[in-house]
């Protein structure tokens, strides 16, 4: 995720490579980053900066942020504003981030893995001290790889459950559709292509048409037809309830991670 965001920042020229420093504890990962992004400074420890992107596992967030707080005592200039911490760590709320790094302005975000192909969605919530200027700067980090959407922080666990985890749900559906095609005699490559392109096209249709997805579904669901038969099976298996339960489980887990 962090590599995809970094790639987008560099390719969009929103920052020069020489202005970027990456801190990575794992030596092989440092080498991979240095090889992929020439000009980017890479080391095992963070350096003083105006903006930090926190991209660690939730279990490592406290120690990583506490390390950054030490750097806040090394100002970049007399008139330097408080440094900005933009976090993509799942489930970690801004209150926790602020308690670990009280000197920082906080922006909490939730990207999804589609940032890897420049088609992601990133939700941003303002934390301590995050004014319009700060939020704009945070959005600029992601603008080359995602659509950015501002939300209130209390909505972030729901956003995580729906959008953060969402790509995996659609991969699961593609997987199931592919397997169904194979069971009907289609070769793997054809079944996979049909499943992927149908999912992609349906998303574009829903986005560009703008009407309620239910209306778009009903337009291709002729009474007694093939689609109607399939939808009836979905309803018989309580697919909507299953999806709701799955998203709710992800929501509860997101809250647990932040507790």
| 18 C-beta neighbours (distance < 10 Å), count | 9
Alpha carbon 219 to chain centroid, angstroms: 32
Please list, residue by residue across 206-232, b when 16 or more beta carbons sit within 10 angstroms of its beta carbon and e when fewer do. eeeeeeeeeeeeeeeeeeeeeeeeeee
Helix (H, G, I), strand (E, B) or coil at 253: helix
The whole-number pLDDT of residue 70 equals: 84
C-alpha–C-alpha distance, residues 59 and 253, integer Å: 14
How many angstroms separate the CA atoms of 212 and 192, rounded?
27
In the chain, what are the domains? 2-164 (3.40.50.720), 166-257 (1.10.3730.10)
Contacts with 20 (C-beta within 8 Å, 6 or more apart), sequence order: 6, 9, 10, 37, 40, 41
CA dist 51 and 187 (Å) reads 50
pLDDT tens, residue order, the chain (259 aa) = 788 888 877 777 667 788 888 988 888 988 988 888 888 889 888 888 888 999 988 888 999 999 888 877 665 554 568 889 999 988 889 999 999 999 999 999 999 989 888 899 999 999 999 999 999 999 988 888 899 999 999 999 999 999 999 999 999 999 999 999 999 999 999 999 999 999 999 999 999 999 999 999 999 999 999 999 999 999 999 999 999 999 999 999 988 887 7
Tell me the C-alpha distance between 29 and 26, whole Å. 5
**pTM of the predicted structure, to 2 decimals:** 0.87
Q: How far apart are the first and last CA of the chain?
A: 23
């Amino acid at each position: 995720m962090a590599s995809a965001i970094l790639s987008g920042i560099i390719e969009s020229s929103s920052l020069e490579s020489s202005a970027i420093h990456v801190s990575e504890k794992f030596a092989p990962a440092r080498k991979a980053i240095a090889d992929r992004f020439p000009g980017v400074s890479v080391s095992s420890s963070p350096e003083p900066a105006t903006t930090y992107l926190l991209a660690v596992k939730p279990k490592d967030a406290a120690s990583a942020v506490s390390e950054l707080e030490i750097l806040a005592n090394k100002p970049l200039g007399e008139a330097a504003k408080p440094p900005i911490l933009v976090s993509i760590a799942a489930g970690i709320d801004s209150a926790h981030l602020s308690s670990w790094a009280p000197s920082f302005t906080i922006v909490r975000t939730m990207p999804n893995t589609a940032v890897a192909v420049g088609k992601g969605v990133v939700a941003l919530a303002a934390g301590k001290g995050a004014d319009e200027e700060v939020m704009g700067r945070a959005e600029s980090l992601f603008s080359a790889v995602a659509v950015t959407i501002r939300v209130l922080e209390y909505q972030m666990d729901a956003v995580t459950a729906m959008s953060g985890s969402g790509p995996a749900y659609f991969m699961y559906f593609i997987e199931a559709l592919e397997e169904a095609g194979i069971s009907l005699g289609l070769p793997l490559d054809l079944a996979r292509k049909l499943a992927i392109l149908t999912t992609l096209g349906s998303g574009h249709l829903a986005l560009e048409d703008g009407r309620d997805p239910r209306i778009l579904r009903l337009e291709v669901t002729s009474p007694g037809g093939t689609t109607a038969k399939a939808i009836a099976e979905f309803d018989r298996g309580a697919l909507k309830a299953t999806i709701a339960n799955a998203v709710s489980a992800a929501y509860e887990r997101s809250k647990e991670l932040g507790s």
